[in-house]
Amino acid sequence: MDFLRPASWEEALAAKAEHPTAVPIAGGTDVMVEINFDHRRPEYLLDLTRVGDLYEWEVGEDSVRLGASVPYTRIMENLRAELPGLALASHTVASPQIRNRGGVGGNLGTASPAGDAHPALLAAGAEVEAESVRGSRRIPIDAFYTGVKRNALAADELIRAVHINKADGPQQFSKVGTRNAMVIAVCAFGLALHPGTRTVRTGIGSAAPTPVRATVAEEFLGAALDEGGFWDSGRIIPPSVARQFAELCSAACNPIDDVRGTAGYRRHAVGVMARRTLMWTWESYRGTDRATEGAA
Amino acid sequence: MRTNGTPTQLTQGSRTRGGIGESTLRPDGTLKVTGEFAYSSDMWHEDMLWGQILRSPVAHAEIVSIDTSEALATPGVYAVLTYDDLPTEVKHYGLEIQDTPVLAHGKVRHHGEPVAVVAADHPETARRAAAKIRVEYRELPVITDEASATAPDAVLVHENRTDHHASHVSHPNIVHRQPIIRGDVEEARRRADVIVEGEYVFGMQDQAFLGPESGLAVPAEDGGVDLYVATQWLHADLRQIAPVLGLPEEKVRMTLSGVGGAFGGREDLSMQIHACLLALRTGKPVKIVYNRFESFFGHVHRHPAKLYYEHGATKDGKLTHLKARIVLDGGAYASSSPAVVGNAASLGAGPYVVDDVDIEAVALYTNNPPCGAMRGFGAVQACFAYEAQMDKLAAKLDMDPVEFRRLNAMSQGAVMPTGQVVDSPAPVAELLRRVKAMPLPPEQQWLTAGEDADVRQLPGGLSNTTHGEGVVRGIGYAVGIKNVGFSEGFDDYSTAKVRMEVVGGEPVATVHTAMAEVGQGGVTVHAQIARTELGVAQVTIRPADTQVGSAGSTSASRQTYVTGGAVKNACELVRERVLELGRRRFGTYHPAWATAELLLEGGKVVTDGGEVLADLVDVLGDEAVEVEEEWRHRPTEPFDLRTGQGFGHVQYSFAAHRAVVEVDTELGLVKVIELACAQDVGKALNPLSVVGQIQGGTTQGLGVAVMEEIVVDPRTAKVRNPSFTDYLIPTILDTPTIPVDVLELADDHAPYGLRGAGEAPTLSSTPAVLAAIRDATGLELNRTPVRPEHLTGT
Amino acid sequence: MRVNFTVNGRPQEADDVWEGESLLYVLRERLGLPGSKNACEQGECGSCTVRLDGVPVCSCLVAAGQVEGREVVTVEGLAEYAQQRSRGTGACGTSLDEARWWSAQGTDSGTGEGTELAPVQQAFIDAGAVQCGFCTPGLLVAADEMLERNPNPTDADIREALSGNLCRCTGYEKIMDAVRLAAARQGEAV
């Protein structure tokens, strides 16, 4: 095993080009587990912790450019207003120690369906800034997840940043685990209202081979809200609409039975979370909120 | 050669005072908070090698061939050993039945069974070499439950059994069977106005101690070996290790390293023999440290169980009869299975008066992971079932569940289903009364001042699944009975060596036992006993090792009773000899030396009237008084193999719990809000430590109620979740406040009247949580742990 | 490979480090600092918690090569770290005065009685928060850092901050007591 320590982004790209099998490591919260438990013996470890840019973020007019290695703790503390869904999701990641170290780049690189950031990124709308010595490109989040623990990155590419649309409305995130802290998602759900475009976006974690959006549910809800004039009136969403939205979110799942939960439960729980997060975000949108964002 | 991490003696001097009954602080506390306390995985020796175990990837297979040549040829590798390399004819070990091969021979019987061991100069070298060992397996069908174990054509997990249980079981895949029959169940059933039946399932729990199996074996010049290890019983290890090595016991010198928790999981051997074999083969010190993945394969687990219960009661709420069948899955090797069967059977009726009883408990041999000791063994599984039954009966009779229990609660003088009379306090009704009387935690504590929900206090916690929606509160009660000490005629004794002398102008007592301090606080209590009995401030606790006689196991809630008793006894003998010395030296100066009751207090010899006769410093002078003596509790007897009658247990221990839970009924997530406990401990030698034991035991019971389970694939008998990612134990956010009410009703048979305390709280905690969840949801819930699927019907 | 970094204010060099080694392994097996514990090596227990450039992290998940040039504080250095914080020097390392002060203190070789402890360490002993003690070092580092950030934590704050540290012995009640006690004593001292 070789340990590559690039001092800059350019050096990191050069190293990755030279050694496409090199495994990038930043927070180490995935890679080191695999090494400690002898599940993986990469030929090269590519340490990105010396690349300062990856730990920075910029808040732009419409979006946030979030460095790939900005720790979850920083996101929770500093980006709650701009990225409320991701901030809530960040708060559910593992433990304080892990949140101090891990970042969104790692979640995207591993592309596990259970990664906590994915539903929030899908719901908010995001683009992954990938780069190699060949150049830089932006991959829409919807096109990023290509299979179980597979993503759209080329072998020589590294994730530099994620561009996430700033919240233009309430966002929520919910995750089911069988423990009240430090738990991997049995399933998770992200929801973002986009009053600007009068659309709703969702993200589902751990209930399909990849993180997915419930697009049919989004379209149904978008149409129902639009046709009913809800965006303008701010009326309470009828239970029948919420129920159907929840059912369509469940239907968007393609889960499996595993040691963490059954497929049936996952479908059920996604529906419950869809309904609840819709209620919380909608109450918040109506401005009569009493308990929307949790105590995150 | 340099060695780091060898245990040093602990001296508590003038800063700490306090005899029995006081909450003195741990003598090892400072070392533990500064990181200096040497645990077994902290051992380091110059020039040491690392041992690595190769384990079976399948549960049941014939070993066709093993090729170690490539592993041996790896640079940095010093030894690779298989069964064929074992040095003597003794190639098996076991706590009761020697059925466990040191390294697999011809066959593997469970997933993760050790097949070969490697020693190399770096752990990675050892891992890579182990991966190069080529083992060819021919898989066999797996035995996974009672049906597959006792089928007429079932493959035998162990052929040609010759152990002492083999002759009385109906099938070679049954380790042991114990019936308990008293009265006439058929007749009593006719008197019952209501009958309830239930079939209960208890999942496989892991001890999940945090300090992984580890230790260091150092070869000695005399051909022997020094072994530093974390265990629960040094001498039981020694008895199993020495014959395999072909060494006399005195050449295997064992010292207890720091133990990072045990809970039963260190009763069986893990890396001990492997490290010694590699050290003796290579002539170098060998360290072995399991990682967490390996730890799940490196020790036995709590027996999963299926329990079939039928209870009857009259319409005024008196139990008429109990018929029960308890099937425990012992896995591939016997470990403590026979004792677990004895406990489950003899305690299967719970702390209730019921005259007509027919209980049968069996343990199976299967290809599942071996199961053995874990806190409360046998009694834990039974308590889950009989307490569910009590709630069902109360519901059927439309009675309050606590009142129903109190109506049937045993008290001193009651007769157990084994015929044994309970001859010390059994305050079952009083414990229930006390937990019920505790104030209830306020409703909806998660509402903050601004009426926002603090999700940290709601089911789901930080995961933000509810802001109060779907949340329903429930309350449940349970009580349990556990035996203390080793039962069924076992010669249960301990040994203490106590020395008294003047050091630096001050009388000092030194206590030396082989007791395994696993965190429970035995070392604290030994110092307290010495202070109380010998009137000194300074007490030195010597490291536990095999240079002193056996202390028995740190298990069965027995160490304060038995080794505490041995220390007390040795102190009393030392005191007599000190007083003799005083009489010889000063007896002529004061008549009280001959006539009065004399005590040692505050470093002086005093009369019971408080008159000071002499300073201990003067009495002792240059002499050291030392006593090493065995001490045993009153004998027990085996249960009759047909009827289960017999004076099987030396003492009983009781605890009751009230659980308050909030359940998100839509998502099936549970938050335990409070787990109140009342327990009788006879005498709290150290109240702070006793409460700590009760809270810790309670939390392990909570874990197996709502999250903890080793999941074994029924098709392959392979473990699916051997990690802390998927075997979940409660975090601080899952654990509620645990108010504790400690009763002290003395047992006159026990030293200071104390009652073993460590296990009872692990029994009733689980059924209390389950009862509370049932109360919140109205669901029957016959299985633990409860999973969200069970609460949502998905 | 070779790794140079600072541990508890003192420069350290580890040689012949295998590239897959964790910071935890280097501390325990190469630098003679086994206080950080090896309970799970998968970031699920917190027993190996150290401060890396001030931030609490699981040292089992930090690759050894990643600490090159960085500062690490372990449980072994916690008392000194807390002492310097209370004096407001902020810097790590032992001054000459402090070195003299250290040697002037009599400590008991057996139990460490008389050792100067961080307030949170003393509180863990006093409250009975230590049983087997294997989780203790990680909890102490995490609790000390929380009290640095949040001197008046609510119970929910304490539970959240310590939710990455598993304990199997105590049921956490006495750990809660210990942290409350440390916070109260810290409040009195100000």
d(CA C183, CA A278): 40
Radius of gyration for the alpha carbons in chain A, expressed in angstroms and rounded: 19
Question: Looking at A290-294, B26-30, B692-696, which range is the least confident one?
Answer: A290-294
- Is B673 among the domain residues? yes
| Confidence category of residue A288, pLDDT binned at 50, 70, 90 | low
Same domain, B667 and B542: no
pLDDT value, residue C6: 98
DSSP-assigned beta bridge partners for residue A133: none
Q: Average of pLDDT values for B729-741?
A: 98
| DSSP per position, B635-651 | P--PPPTTT--S---SE
Q: Average of pLDDT values for C162-178?
A: 98
Task: Please name the member of B5, B9, B210 whose beta carbon is closest to the beta carbon of C110.
Answer: B9
Q: Which amino acid is at C8?
A: N
Within 8 A of A28 by CB-CB distance, chain C residues are: 61-63, 66
CB atoms within 10 A of CB B6: 16
- Is A246 among the domain residues? yes
Residue with tokens 């505490």: B564
Write out the two tokens for C47. Answer: 């027993």
pLDDT value, residue B16: 58
CB C115 within 8 A of CB C126: no
How far is Cα of residue B201 from the mean position of the Cα atoms in its chain? 21
Task: Please name the member of A174, A259, A267 whose beta carbon is closest to the beta carbon of B463.
Answer: A174
Q: Quick check: C76 contacting B, CB < 8 Å?
A: yes
Question: Looking at A22-36, B380-394, C111-125, which range is the least confident one?
Answer: C111-125
Chain B nearest-CA distance from A29, in A, is 12
Nearest-CA residue of chain C relative to B517? C132
| Confidence category of residue B668, pLDDT binned at 50, 70, 90 | very high
CATH number at residue B48: 3.90.1170.50
CB B731 within 8 A of CB A181: yes
Q: Average of pLDDT values for A194-218?
A: 97
User: How many percent of chain B have pLDDT more than 90?
Assistant: 96
- Is A271 among the domain residues? yes
Same domain, B529 and B618: yes
- Is A243 among the domain residues? yes
Q: Average of pLDDT values for B369-377?
A: 98
pLDDT value, residue A144: 98
Kindly report the average pLDDT of chain B as a whole number.
97
Mutation for testing the B interface, residue in C169, C170, C179, C181 having most B CBs under 10 Å:
C169
CA distances to A107, A156, A158, B683, C106 from A136, rounded to whole Å, are: 20, 11, 10, 73, 63
Task: Please name the member of A36, A174, A179 whose beta carbon is closest to the beta carbon of B465.
Answer: A174
- Is B528 among the domain residues? yes
Q: Quick check: C162 contacting B, CB < 8 Å?
A: yes
Q: ipTM of this predicted complex?
A: 0.97
- Domains, in order of start, for chain C: 109-189 (1.10.150.120)
Q: Quick check: B17 contacting C, CB < 8 Å?
A: no
CA distances to B107, B172, B326, B491 from B364, rounded to whole Å, are: 19, 9, 11, 26
Inter-chain CB proximity C57 and A47 less than 8 Å: no
A24-48 burial string, b = 16+ CB within 10 Å, else e? bbbbbbbbbbbbbbbeeebebbbbb
Inter-chain CB proximity A33 and C49 less than 8 Å: no
Q: Flag whether pLDDT at B13 surpasses 80.
A: no
Summarised one tens digit per residue, pLDDT across range B185-225 is 999 999 999 999 999 999 999 999 999 999 999 999 999 99
Supply the pTM of this predicted model: 0.96
pLDDT value, residue C89: 54
Q: Average of pLDDT values for A113-138?
A: 98
CB atoms within 10 A of CB B217: 34
Same domain, B613 and B506: yes
Same domain, B589 and B689: no
Which of A239, A172, A225 minimizes the C-alpha distance to A195? A225
Same domain, B517 and B434: no
Its domain, for residue B675, covers 428-482+649-792
- Is A213 among the domain residues? yes
CATH number at residue A199: 3.30.390.50
Q: Flag whether pLDDT at B83 surpasses 60.
A: yes
Q: Flag whether pLDDT at B505 surpasses 90.
A: yes
State yes or no: cis peptide before A255, omega within 30 of 0. no
* B-C contacts (CB, under 8 Å): 214
Same domain, B678 and B733: yes
Which one has a higher pLDDT value, B744 or C115? B744
- Is B422 among the domain residues? no
DSSP, collapsed to helix, strand or coil, labels residue B362 as: strand
Nearest-CA residue of chain A relative to C21? A36
Strand stretches in B597-686, DSSP E: 598-601, 604-607, 612-615, 625-632, 651-664, 669-680
Radius of gyration for the alpha carbons in chain C, expressed in angstroms and rounded: 16
pLDDT value, residue B360: 98
Its domain, for residue A232, covers 171-286
Q: Average of pLDDT values for A251-277?
A: 97
CATH number at residue B619: 3.30.365.10
Q: Which chains pack against A, by 3+ Cβ pairs within 8 A?
A: B, C
Inter-chain CB proximity C63 and A3 less than 8 Å: yes
Inter-chain CB proximity B731 and A176 less than 8 Å: no
Question: Looking at A170-174, B152-156, B648-652, B695-699, which range is the least confident one?
Answer: B152-156
Q: Average of pLDDT values for B8-30?
A: 83
- Is A212 among the domain residues? yes
Residue with tokens 């590294």: A158
Chain A nearest-CA distance from C116, in A, is 27
pLDDT value, residue B12: 73
Q: Flag whether pLDDT at B3 surpasses 80.
A: no
| Confidence category of residue B4, pLDDT binned at 50, 70, 90 | confident
Within 8 A of B210 by CB-CB distance, chain C residues are: 37, 39-40, 45, 47, 132, 134-135, 166-168
Structurally, chain B folds into a number of domains equal to 3
Chain A nearest-CA distance from B343, in A, is 31
Same domain, B459 and B530: no
Same domain, B621 and B716: no
What letter does residue B154 receive in the DSSP assignment?
Answer: P
Inter-chain CB proximity B465 and A186 less than 8 Å: no
- Is A251 among the domain residues? yes
Structurally, chain A folds into a number of domains equal to 1
pLDDT value, residue A289: 44
How far is Cα of residue B367 from the mean position of the Cα atoms in its chain? 23
Which of B611, B505, B554 minimizes the C-alpha distance to B262? B554
d(CA B776, CA A239): 25
Summarised one tens digit per residue, pLDDT across range B431-472 is 999 999 999 999 988 887 776 789 999 999 999 999 999 999
Same domain, B759 and B664: yes
Q: Average of pLDDT values for A92-111?
A: 97
Residue ending a domain, among B282, B298, B314, is B298
CB B118 within 8 A of CB B71: yes
Nearest 10 degrees: Cα torsion C84, C90, C96, C97: -40
Same domain, B622 and B764: no
Cα angle, residue A272 at apex, residues A267 and A273 outer, rounded to 5°: 95
Cα angle, residue B284 at apex, residues B280 and B285 outer, rounded to 5°: 95
d(CA B585, CA B580): 9
Q: Flag whether pLDDT at B230 surpasses 60.
A: yes
| Confidence category of residue C91, pLDDT binned at 50, 70, 90 | very low
Q: Average of pLDDT values for B136-147?
A: 98
- Is B83 among the domain residues? yes
